[in-house]
Amino acid sequence: NAGVTQTPKFQVLKTGQSMTLQCAQDMNHNSMYWYRQDPGMGLRLIYYSASEGTTDKGEVPNGYNVSRLNKREFSLRLESAAPSQTSVYFCASRPPGLGDKTQYFGPGTRLLVL
Amino acid sequence: KQEVTQIPAALSVPEGENLVLNCSFTDSAIYNLQWFRQDPGKGLTSLLLIQSSQREQTSGRLNASLDKSSGRSTLYIAASQPGDSATYLCAGGVEYGNKLVFGAGTILRVKS
């Protein structure tokens, strides 16, 4: 049981390049999230997916697209990277069912946009 | 819009000391309040989750309280150890899907 995995761990992009950040979970969770963490700030939600095929914008969705093609995987795409998107990106998932449940986080992807 | 603030931003204490980390939120309409630990270069690990109907949760040397009416939560760490050194983040669960709104964190250093 690997939990939440993210690839790549680190990436350097030039302004205008595109890339996809991958996230996968093997815990049979329905809900998945993408956050970004910037220095001196808390994590901010980019996108949320309640289940396969459904996505919902979070607080800071501009410049990003997401894809939830199956239950395990939730990818985040930067179509035209900008220096303002330099950040650490975390993927998380949450167990299904009623009641309050915590989120399980991946190790993060560190992205530098030059 | 929910906003979460954590005080202090950084804290350095000698080993063995009891300490309190503070978290405040602007909107009492939260589903839950969660505390996470983040080690340098790592992801987040959940420590405690307090449901909106609860007042506190305990796990080992950690105790978290929630006062929705005043918009405050505290994390109490007893008998601190150098291994407790990390960044502690609080987050309020809001809206459908339990989306989390995070504070900026408190960087804790426990000196041996």
Over the stretch B31-65, which tens digit does the pLDDT of each residue have?
899 999 999 988 999 999 999 889 999 999 999 99
- Nearest Cβ partner of B89 from A42, A58, A101? A42
pLDDT digits (tens, 9 = 90+) for A55-89: 999 999 999 999 998 999 999 999 999 999 999 99
Predicted confidence band of residue A91 (pLDDT cuts 50, 70, 90): very high
Q: What does each C-alpha distance from A49 to A59, A64, B62 come to in angstroms?
A: 14, 14, 31
Percent of chain B with pLDDT over 90: 82
pLDDT given for residue A20 in this prediction: 98
Whether the pLDDT of residue A111 is over 80: the answer is yes
Whether the pLDDT of residue A1 is over 80: the answer is no
Provide the total of helices (H) and of strands (E) in chain B, helices listed first.
0, 11
Whether the pLDDT of residue B66 is over 90: the answer is yes
- The residue count of chain A comes to 114
The overall average pLDDT reported for chain A is 94
pLDDT given for residue B2 in this prediction: 86
Strand partners, B7: B22
Rounded distance, CA B84 to CA B47, Å?
12
Arithmetic mean of pLDDT, B6-23 = 96
Arithmetic mean of pLDDT, B61-78 = 96
Predicted confidence band of residue B28 (pLDDT cuts 50, 70, 90): confident
pLDDT digits (tens, 9 = 90+) for B88-98: 999 998 877 78
Cβ of A42 within 8 Å of Cβ of B102? The answer is: yes
**For B51, nearest residue in chain A (alpha carbons):** A100
Percent of chain A with pLDDT over 90: 86
Cβ of A106 within 8 Å of Cβ of B43? The answer is: yes
Residue B57 at interface with chain A, using a CB cutoff of 8 Å: no
Residue B35 at interface with chain A, using a CB cutoff of 8 Å: no
Which two three-digit tokens encode residue B103? 């504070």
pLDDT given for residue B29 in this prediction: 86
- Nearest Cβ partner of A105 from B44, B98, B101? B44
Question: Residue B51's CB: how many other CB atoms inside 10 A?
Answer: 15
